[in-house]
Amino acid sequence: MMRSPVSVITLLFVGIEILQAQWNPYAGVVPSLTQGATVITSSGGSSALAIDGDKNTCWQSGNPNAVLPSGYISRPDLNILLGVGATSRFKSSSNANGTNSTDGNVSNSSAINVSGAKAWLSYDFPAPVTLRTVSIKCGVPAVISVYAHHPNGDSTLIGALGTPDNFSLKKFSPVVNSVVKLKLICNARFSVFEVAAMSKLPTEYLIVDMLQSKRVGYIETRYWSDSVATATSIYLSNDGINWSLAGNVNPYAFQTIIVRPPAPMQARYVKIEHTLVEVDYAKVNVWEVEVFDEHGPYGPFPAPVPQRSSVKEILGTNGLWGWGHNMFSNSIPAGQGPTRFATMSSHGRNYHNMHWDIDDPDDIPDYDNMPFGLALWWLDWDREYLAWNRAGLKVQASIQFSEWIPPTRMANWNNPYQAAYNYGYAFARHFGPTQGNGLVDVMEIGNEPWTYPASFYLEVFRGMLHGAKAGDPALKVIPCALQAGYPGAEYATGGNWMGARITQAEAPLIDGINVHHYSYTYDQNGARIAVEPEHPESDMRGVVNDIRFRDANLPGKKIYLSEWGWDSDGAGESCNFGECVSEHEQAVYAVRGAMMFMRLGINRITWYFYGNQASG
């Protein structure tokens, strides 16, 4: 049956709308359970900044009123006298109404009249307490003495208010133990505006209310307490009253800290509590709180995929021109350079510097006239890549340009799309498998151009992609290294989030996605450390986010893990990085990591790096 042109056009538009509806830039993201939550704090403002997904914005306590000298007065969790003036525990020489004396408002007062030559008031404690801090504001006509009474009838003079303290809030820090009564005595009638006391070290806290009970097994937070905190603890609760300790953390850590409760539990509230030293105007910060189930921000591993390739067939090595020998690879002695790494790799990834080919991004490389047609007059990529191929290595060329043209010089791209198109076309036409000499297997559009804004990278990406596919449709082309799990890593000025740097428009032409993953997490001090690939907090699990993005948006496309590995000592050299493992661990982790990636169905894994980068 013949359809009318209108019907065909209608079906075409319907099909496009369905495809657009199916594209989901957030497909790889595991949302924090704090999304949509509310925040309760002990003090300060801008509390929502602690759950805004940006680790560079924060809630700060104590604005405008720090816990000391006076912020604690209105807090029932700290002020053990709050409201006591309105109870039978308050007594005075003139049977005064003491409500105003402990209402948390330093502007209201109660009058204490003389009886028997003295004016006095007292507050009883139902059980002995420690008085660490006492704050008093009075109208002072004469000296007012402040005593702490003990169970045996003795008393301790905490201090006194003189006429210079008239109508001022005065703070005492006595640290007196076993106190059952606090008493103020004066020889004249006086007014009392507020009496407050703390029996424990002050605290500041931030509580995230997730609005309903959720399964919590992984809490990631970044905070800062400078030198004013003695402890930092994280608690969970279902009712906001009864709290379970999830973990104690280093109060001085500045970078990300990950806490897991002893076992996953149901909780509605998450509290980060800093215990402070007793200094005035102390402030603490919480930059971010993210909460997940036991799988963290990565989500559960997918079902294992049958792997039909050998380790060598998917394994590659990151290298560069000459493999550190400062000569073309066809001149390197046998057993070195590409012939050395071909014993365990099927491909080599080359950091192909664009500025070696052209002097200006708007120039067009003349690959057919090498070595004289390139920016480096002596460079001949045919000679170099032919040596790799003959050694048994397929070539994966990572075209580096942001390292040459940083964001401050982006204007050097007069026409980013057209310049990138011309470069991609020339590259594919010369090196592609059907229109060129077939020396390059995969072309990457950028290595880590993460300092470019997404909109600018997309111009370059689209231009080079379209040019390469026009030059040789059979050349495999992939984007730069990106990640699918953290939208917060994308800013107006740069980033690497896949959801912002690959769109549905490029999907039909790319041959896969490109990712980098190293096995890092953070220790109790917030320092980044290298860990085994199976570690439940390893960043390497981010590949699971990438798989979900691929499955949702690019089904059937390949995943190229073009950088992974561990730093270690070896070959007589020490490891100068803070994230080093032993040489034995490096080897064991490499084998286990490769097995893990193969079971996840990753198509190509490229070890970083072929040698010590400093010495080659």
Angle (nearest 5°) at CA 126 between 124 and 131: 65
Here the tokens at position 516 are 């980098």
411: left (phi over 0), alpha (psi -120 to 50) or beta: alpha
161 CB-contact burial (10 Å; exposed 0-12 / middle 13-18 / buried 19+) = buried
What pTM was computed for the model? 0.89
Q: Which amino acid is at 563?
A: E
Cα–Cα distance measured from residue 240 to residue 96, given in angstroms and rounded to the nearest whole number: 37
C-beta of residue 362 within 8 angstroms of C-beta of residue 415: yes
Ranges 41-55, 202-216, 392-406, 553-567: which has the least confidence: 41-55
Rounded to an integer, the average pLDDT of 51-67 is: 90
pLDDT tens per residue across span 63-98: 778 999 999 999 999 999 999 999 999 999 999 999
The confidence score (pLDDT) of residue 45 equals: 81
pLDDT tens per residue across span 348-379: 999 999 999 999 999 999 999 999 999 999 99
Could you count the other beta carbons within 10 Å of the beta carbon of residue 76?
10
Here the tokens at position 375 are 């920016």
Cα–Cα distance measured from residue 373 to residue 375, given in angstroms and rounded to the nearest whole number: 7
Among residues 67, 99, 107, which one has the least CA distance to residue 83? 99
Residue 191 has pLDDT above 50, yes or no: yes
Percent share of the chain, pLDDT over 70: 96
Greater confidence (15 vs 478) lies with 478
Cα–Cα distance measured from residue 353 to residue 264, given in angstroms and rounded to the nearest whole number: 48
Q: Supply the mean pLDDT for the chain.
A: 94
- Give me the helix-helix angle, 454-471 and 416-431, nearest 10°: 30
First-to-last C-alpha distance (Å) of the chain: 67
The per-residue DSSP string of 147-189 comes to EEE-TTS-EEEEEEE-GGGTTSEEEE---EEEEEEEEEEESS-
Predicted confidence band of residue 573 (pLDDT cuts 50, 70, 90): confident
pLDDT tens per residue across span 100-153: 999 999 999 999 999 999 999 999 999 999 999 999 999 999 999 999 999 999
